[in-house]
Amino acid sequence: MMGTMSSQPWSPQPWRIKPVLPVTKLLGAVAVLVLVLAFGRDDAVEWFLAAALSAGLTGWAVRDLIAPIRLAADAEGVTVIIGYARRHRLPWGQIAAVRLDHRDRLGVTNEMVEIDADDGLYLFSMHDLGAEPRAVLAVLEQLHAQASHPSA
Flag whether 91 is in a domain.
yes
What's phi and psi for 34, nearest 5 deg?
Answer: -65, -40
Tens-digit pLDDT string for the chain (152 aa): 333 334 444 457 899 999 999 999 999 999 999 999 999 788 899 999 999 999 999 999 999 999 999 999 998 999 999 988 999 999 999 999 999 998 988 998 899 999 999 889 999 999 999 999 999 999 999 888 887 776 65
Sign of CA dihedral 134, 136, 141, 142: positive
Euclidean distance between CA atoms 18 and 126, whole angstroms? 10
100, 114 in Cβ contact below 8 A? yes
- Residue 80, CB-side half-sphere exposure with 13 Å CA sphere: 20
Q: Say if residue 84 is in the same domain as residue 61.
A: no
Flag whether 29 is in a domain.
yes
Predicted confidence at residue 126, as pLDDT, reads: 93
Q: Say if residue 28 is in the same domain as residue 90.
A: no
CATH code for the domain of 83: 2.30.29
Flag whether 14 is in a domain.
no
112, 136 in Cβ contact below 8 A? no
